[in-house]
């Protein structure tokens, strides 16, 4: 009987002392964390994609709270959650959400198996990073897509997939959050984060080849050859030509579509625009807001 | 028999062109000289369109200390300075020269008499080697004058000549020793004088008994030069492996270099180039290239002017076989598959290997079975399976910690892997990335 009593008392005493120490320690070494950080983190997607530029969702939540204390949420955007997520965060923090333009990843290469003749066969490890460092790739274009799918592996939102027919990655517009993981994964900087554009319509030069015209022309049927026709026709000075490559500045482009038919190689794509009328007179000038909320999703990817 | 102590493999030797006398290849119609044929800064072109050049005219000068000048191997007119598609498919700047006749610079001594005496001071020798654009002829193309200028605090104790030719198929160095033994030995003594040492070794693998015998006989006149027969083991031609095999010293992990253990390693082809540069005033513009392969009609060793397209060499060896699977620049272990056979012969082109379909086919990759064969063959004592996995997972911090920078990319791990894993592909990616991270870190300091 004694034995049990001693055990109970001694263990009880140890427990009591430990409890006191733990309590004291928890008070003494307590770290204050703003409860709002946890609240904000709760509404974030928790994909930890890093698209916001902070180390994971917790890091972003901390940054939001800090920004709220200093007065404005400007410049902060969770690309995964989008505008609705930012609104929720703003309401938690008692701020007003700063509207930001929705963006999307665009694969700027149209060198499908059909457009780009294969001149060699790559049989190394299926990784774009490795293929890029060992060789110019299977085609004569040393700037275009290598097709090993590093971008697909990098996407945390299942928003980019290889099309087995073209051998090129395609972005799922509904799923893409413009986090930029694929941009970092691509060793050839083919993917760009661009604004989605009005009514989800945008003009893009689908080529990143910087070779001289003759070489680029030979390497691929739909390459930009740097002829500059689009630059001349653009009424808004939105197109620049550098290193034999045209680039459309999304901030200046008004989606007038004048450059699209001008390109002799069909390298400029008008994405999500309705098909042109048989006799195009090009007075579409400004696909302005008057065209009401147009039906978007079903518009097929325009192929020039 | 001596050899290095860690790892190593022994691939089938396939020295098909052994014993084939060196043939002089006809001049090309147009010679092309890429401006970057060596490790270090690219050379800067000195000529422009329309300029007339002779054989041995300097057409590009070194773009820095770690760089080398380039000399024309033909006489004629500069056609253009433009980009050429290099062996890996990328465009690199190059000088194109249309060949007219064969007129040499007068300063070059074209006689075949052996000039033994060399009364130049060490600095003068190094300057002359630098002015002749000599680089390591084994394949890495490290400028020779840099190796002969030890950094402060380091003292060379011996010169080791790499006459190992451990790559299967290649026989260029072997044949060079058989035909130019005297010149090589003079070259070695010049190299010894340049770094002010009294001991020289020439390491030769014992699959070349005729070369060992001949060199030993000839070296009898040079009491300071010792011929060291070595056991056949790949990659014995690696600097660090050769040092270990010959003088039993181990070079510590990077940034340590062979001079830290007192060794200066040069290729046997480089020794010959040094002889020609110093004694004959002949800059580096031709070299011996092995053209070989199981389906090639006449595997041969050609004395080739630089800038000659590889297709011309293949033609001279009997043409491209029908069952060609891959054309490789260099040997089968470390060479690179070419995307284009119009690429020119450069300072580091030791061979052109044509593999047939069967040889070239790469087996499908299977899961790692943890047999650790790659670990036991790694001559640097690394763990290739781990480095490859970490690189694939992009864990660069650990890749660096596991000493990826020590990897010499010899390919022994991949050669031996029973699961045919792409070990070296991933390790190279890791090495490249970590190298970039280290350079960026050092630049910040």
Could you tell me what percent of chain B has a pLDDT over 70? 100
Specify the pLDDT at position B332.
Answer: 92
**What is the pLDDT, as a whole number, of residue A138?**
87
Identify the contact set of chain B against chain A, taking CB-CB distances under 8 A: 85, 88-91, 336-337, 339, 362, 365, 392, 422, 425-426, 428-429, 432
Task: Provide mean pLDDT across the span A12-30.
Answer: 95
Span A35-92: which CATH code? 1.10.15
CATH number given to A102-196: 3.30.70.20
Cβ contact, residue pair B91, A130, below 8 Å:
no
Indicate the CATH number for domain A197-209+219-304.
3.30.70.20
Query: Above 90 in pLDDT, residue B39?
Result: no
Q: CA-CA distance, B138 to B238, in Å (whole number)? A: 10
Q: State the complex-level ipTM.
A: 0.85
Place of tokens 């087996």: B363
Partner-chain contact B425 A120, CB within 8 Å: no
- DSSP letter at B89? S
Task: Give contacts of A136 with chain B, Cβ < 8 Å.
Answer: 85, 88-90, 339
The answer on pLDDT for B379 being more than 70 is yes
Residue A174's pLDDT is: 87
pLDDT tens for A117-149 read 888 888 888 999 999 988 888 888 999 999 999
CA-wise closest residue to A171 among A195, A144, A191: A191
A133 near B CB under 8 A:
yes
Give the tens place of pLDDT for each residue, B219-264: 999 999 999 999 999 999 999 999 999 999 999 988 888 999 999 9
Which among A117, A135, A148, A218 is the top mutation candidate for probing chain B, defined by the most B β-carbons within 10 Å of its own β-carbon?
Answer: A135
Higher-pLDDT residue of B14, B88: B14
Is the pLDDT confidence value at A287 over 50? Answer: no
Which tens digits make up the pLDDT trace of A91-121?
Answer: 888 877 777 778 899 999 998 888 998 888 8
Task: Note the pLDDT tens digit of each residue in B88-146.
Answer: 788 889 999 999 988 899 899 888 888 888 888 999 999 999 999 999 988 788 999 99
Partners of A211 on chain B (C-beta within 8 Å) are 91
Residue A282 pLDDT > 70, yes or no?
no
Chain A environment of B85 (Cβ under 8 Å): 136, 140
Q: Do A35-92 and A102-196 share a fold?
A: no
pLDDT band at A279 (very low <50, low <70, confident <90, very high): low
Name the most confidently modeled range: A98-112, A222-236, A288-302, B137-151: A222-236
Q: Which residue of B has its CA nearest to A130?
A: B429
Average pLDDT over residues B197-208: 93
> Which residues of A fall within a CB distance of 8 Å from B337?
135
Q: What average pLDDT does this structure show over B22-44?
A: 91
Tell me, what's the pLDDT at A290? 42
Residue of B339, B428, B435 best to disrupt the A interface, most CBs of A under 10 A: B339
> Rounded to 5 degrees, what are φ and ψ at A192?
-130, 145
Residue contact A142–B432, C-beta within 8 A: no
B37 confidence band (pLDDT: 50, 70, 90): confident
pLDDT value for A292: 41
Say what the pLDDT of residue A146 is: 92
Q: Look at A127 and B89 and tell me if their CB atoms are within 8 Å.
A: no
Assigned CATH topology for domain B122-280: Rossmann fold (3.40.50)
Give residue B150's pLDDT band: very low, low, confident or very high (50, 70, 90).
confident
The mean per-residue pLDDT over the stretch A280-295 comes to 44
Confidence grade of residue A296 (pLDDT, cut at 50, 70, 90): very low
Residues of B in contact with A119 (CB under 8 A): 339
Rounded to the nearest angstrom, the gap between the alpha carbon of residue B168 and the centroid of all alpha carbons in its chain is: 14
Identify the CA nearest to B129 among candidates B86, B83, B187, B88: B187
- Which candidate from B89, B362, B426 shows the least CB-CB separation from A130? B426
Predicted pLDDT at A288: 42
Percent of chain B with pLDDT over 90: 77
- How far apart CA B221 and CA A235 sit, in angstroms, is 83
Residues of chain B with CATH 3.40.50.11540: 122-280
Provide mean pLDDT across the span B332-361: 90
Distances in Å between the Cα of B398 and the Cα atoms of A274, B254, B393, B394, B401 are 51, 16, 10, 9, 5
**DSSP single-letter state for residue A300:** P
Give the helix ranges, DSSP H, for B91-180: 122-131, 144-147, 172-179
Q: How confident is the prediction for chain A on average, in pLDDT?
A: 85
Beta strand segments in A57-150, E: 103-107
The domain locations on chain A are 35-92, 102-196, 197-209+219-304
Structure tokens at B263: 């060794």
Q: In the predicted model, what is the mean pLDDT of residues A31-57? A: 85
Chain B contact for A142 (CB, 8 A cutoff): yes
- Closest CA–CA distance from residue B263 to any residue of chain A (Å): 32
């Amino acid at each position: 009987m004694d034995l049990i009593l001693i055990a109970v008392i001694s263990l009880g005493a140890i427990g009591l002392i430990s409890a006191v120490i733990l309590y004291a320690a928890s008070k003494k070494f307590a770290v204050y964390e703003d409860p709002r950080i946890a609240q904000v983190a709760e509404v974030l997607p928790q994909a930890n994609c890093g698209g916001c530029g902070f180390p994971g969702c917790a890091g972003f939540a901390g940054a939001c709270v800090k920004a709220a204390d200093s007065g404005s949420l400007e410049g902060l955007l969770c690309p995964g959650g989008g505008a609705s997520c930012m609104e929720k965060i703003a309401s938690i923090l008692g701020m007003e959400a700063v509207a930001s333009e929705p963006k999307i990843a665009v694969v700027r290469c149209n060198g499908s198996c059909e457009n780009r003749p294969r001149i060699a066969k790559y049989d190394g490890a299926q990784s774009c990073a490795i293929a890029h460092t060992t060789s110019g790739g299977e085609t004569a274009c040393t700037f275009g897509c290598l097709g090993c799918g590093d971008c697909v592996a990098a996407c945390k939102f299942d928003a980019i997939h290889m099309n087995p027919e073209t051998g090129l990655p395609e972005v799922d517009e509904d799923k893409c959050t413009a986090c930029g993981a694929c941009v970092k994964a691509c060793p050839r900087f083919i993917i760009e984060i661009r604004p989605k554009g009005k009514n989800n319509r945008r003009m893009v030069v689908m080529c990143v080849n910087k070779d001289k015209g003759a070489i680029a022309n030979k390497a691929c049927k739909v390459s930009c050859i740097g002829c500059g026709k689009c630059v001349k026709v653009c009424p808004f000075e939105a197109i620049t030509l550098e290193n034999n490559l045209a680039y459309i500045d999304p901030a200046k482009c008004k989606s007038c579509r004048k450059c699209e038919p001008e390109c002799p190689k069909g390298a400029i794509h008008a994405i999500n625009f309705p098909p042109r009328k048989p006799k195009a007179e090009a007075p579409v000038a400004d696909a302005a807001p008057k065209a009401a909320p147009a039906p978007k999703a079903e518009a097929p990817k325009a192929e020039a | 028999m001596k050899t290095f102590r860690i790892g190593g493999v022994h691939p089938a030797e396939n020295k098909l062109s052994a014993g084939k006398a060196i043939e002089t290849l006809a001049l090309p119609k147009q010679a092309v000289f890429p401006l970057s044929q060596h490790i270090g800064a690219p050379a800067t072109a000195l000529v422009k369109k329309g300029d007339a050049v002779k054989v041995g005219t300097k057409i590009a000068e070194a773009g820095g200390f770690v760089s080398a000048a380039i000399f024309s191997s033909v006489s004629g007119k500069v056609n253009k300075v433009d980009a050429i598609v290099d062996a890996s498919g990328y465009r690199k700047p190059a000088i194109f020269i249309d060949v007219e006749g064969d007129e040499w610079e007068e300063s070059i001594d074209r006689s075949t008499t052996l000039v033994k005496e060399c009364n130049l001071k060490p600095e003068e020798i190094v300057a002359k080697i630098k002015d002749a654009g000599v680089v390591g002829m084994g394949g890495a193309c490290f400028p020779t004058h840099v190796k002969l200028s030890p950094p402060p605090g380091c003292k060379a104790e011996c010169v080791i000549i790499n006459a190992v030719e451990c790559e299967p198929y290649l026989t260029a160095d072997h044949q060079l020793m058989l035909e130019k033994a005297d010149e090589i030995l003079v070259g070695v003594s010049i190299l010894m004088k340049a770094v002010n040492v009294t001991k020289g070794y020439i390491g030769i693998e014992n699959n070349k008994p005729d070369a060992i015998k001949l060199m030993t006989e000839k070296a009898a006149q040079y009491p300071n030069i010792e011929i060291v027969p070595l056991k056949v083991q790949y990659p014995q031609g690696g600097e660090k492996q050769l040092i270990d095999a010959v003088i039993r010293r181990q070079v510590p992990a990077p940034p340590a270099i062979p001079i830290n253990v007192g060794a200066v390693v040069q290729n046997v082809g480089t020794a010959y180039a040094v002889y020609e540069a110093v004694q004959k005033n002949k800059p580096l513009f031709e070299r011996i290239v092995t053209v070989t392969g199981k389906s090639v009609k006449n595997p041969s060793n050609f004395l080739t002017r630089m800038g000659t397209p590889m297709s011309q060499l293949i033609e001279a060896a009997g043409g491209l076989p029908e069952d060609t699977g891959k054309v490789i620049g260099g040997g089968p272990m470390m060479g690179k598959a070419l995307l284009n056979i119009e690429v020119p012969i450069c300072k580091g082109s030791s061979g052109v290997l044509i593999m047939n379909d069967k040889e070239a086919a790469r087996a499908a990759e299977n899961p790692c079975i943890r047999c650790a064969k790659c670990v036991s063959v790694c001559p640097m004592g690394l763990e290739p399976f781990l480095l490859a996995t970490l690189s694939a997972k992009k864990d660069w911090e650990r890749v660096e910690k596991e000493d990826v920078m020590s990897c010499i990319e010899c390919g022994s791990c991949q050669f031996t892997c029973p699961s045919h894993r792409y070990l070296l592909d991933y390790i190279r990616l890791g090495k490249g990335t970590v190298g970039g991270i280290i350079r960026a870190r050092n630049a910040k300091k």
